[in-house]
Amino acid sequence: MDRAYFEAVGNVLQDYLKKSGFKFLKPNEYKKKVMQKLSLDQNEYIHRSSYDDINAPAFPIGSGTLYLLPKQGVVSLPYKMTQVVNYKKDYPKYILIQESIAL
């Protein structure tokens, strides 16, 4: 999975949160809050939120990691797209295509 993949997942999460009434922080507030909560300095924040380096998780947590997606204003676990999108409900035509290919 690369940065574009995680950004796509972040976009889905962002849409879900917006629909649920979540209020996003302004970019500078997001950065300040993330740096504070994860005890990151300026250089660590830049490195771990870099669009070039998705392989640098922001913070290990339990058996997983957190990723910073500042473009979407989200801190996220490394979700797979199938965990955040209900393809059967949202994209029923893709399920039919997938089933026809599997046969």
Residue located via tokens 């046969």:
103
- Does the pLDDT of residue 66 top 80, yes or no? no
- Does the pLDDT of residue 60 top 50, yes or no? no
Residue located via tokens 């830049």:
46
Report the residue count for the chain. Answer: 103
Point out the least confidently predicted range of 23-32, 34-43, 50-59: 50-59
Percent of the chain with pLDDT over 90: 20
Give domain limits for the chain.
3-102
Q: Model pTM greater than 0.85?
A: no
